[in-house]
Amino acid sequence: MKKIIFLFLSLIFTNSLALSPYIGKYELYADTKMGNLKIGTATLNLSVNDDQFIFTTDAKTESLWKALYDYSRSEKSTGNEVDGQVINNYFSVIEKIKDEIKKNYEINIATDKNYAISSTGEQWEIKPGLLVDPLSVYLALSNDMLKQPNQEEFTYQVVDQDGVKYLKFRLDGEENIEINGAEIKTSRVICDDLELTLNLSAENNFQPIKIHKVNGKTEFTMILIEFSG
């Protein structure tokens, strides 16, 4: 398993300014009344065709835990990489708790026309500069940290169901993460507005090794366990 982790870290992006396809599998943990429990799995899948990318996530609880916490979330982000920059054109998300749909929407982005439109019918103006979504912001952050290693804060124009807003991601020191006996040096990045903490591999193109997210009253943690690409 150590070899799998190191292979992930060395191959996930063979060119720091060019996206490379991969599938990363994570264990999904949640803070519950019974403590911090492994409740399911999550998968990040990046496919690339020339300069076009499709980035998806799929997180769900295992059948054993559905009676305690039945949760699922899937996301899809598409776009292009131009000169090392991530440019989005589409984002969608479906999130369920038990049988109740909490989120279900799509957003189409027309960067050249300075607007984004939601499947709910809402339309927002894009200010000058690039626009990303809550998923592709991971790709943009990784690229920017590679290009500007001494910068301590990154700001992105991010669109979701609530509209377009600026989000700040700030470096919060270094942290060693042990995964299956392999110690990995990471940079910890925090986005206060999203209640999100990322542990990104400092030596391997700043890809996510650990993701911690507060979602309402529940805290989720994703930890990398397997890679294929």
Q: Compute the mean pLDDT over every residue in the chain, rounded to the nearest whole number.
A: 85
Beta bridge mates, 54: 47, 78
Q: Which of 21 and 45 is assigned the larger pLDDT?
A: 45
Q: What digits encode the pLDDT tens for the residues 172-209?
A: 999 998 877 888 899 999 999 999 999 998 776 677 88
Task: Indicate the pLDDT class of residue 1, thresholds 50, 70 and 90.
Answer: very low
Two tokens, residue 49 = 């065709």
Query: Torsion angle of alpha carbons 75, 78, 81, 87, nearest 10°?
Result: -90
Q: Closest Cα partner for 43 from 62, 29, 23, 61? A: 23
Q: Closest Cα partner for 73 from 35, 40, 51, 119? A: 40
Which stretch of DSSP H or E encloses residue 193?
none
Q: What angle do CA 114, 119, 124 make, to 5 degrees?
A: 25
Give whole-number Cα distances, 14 to 65, 97, 204, 219, in Å: 38, 38, 9, 33
Number of residues that this document lists for the chain: 229
Q: Which of 115 and 216 is assigned the larger pLDDT?
A: 115
Q: What digits encode the pLDDT tens for the residues 30-70?
A: 886 777 888 899 999 999 998 899 999 999 988 776 776 78
Model pTM above 0.95: no
Q: What digits encode the pLDDT tens for the residues 79-98?
A: 998 877 888 999 999 999 88
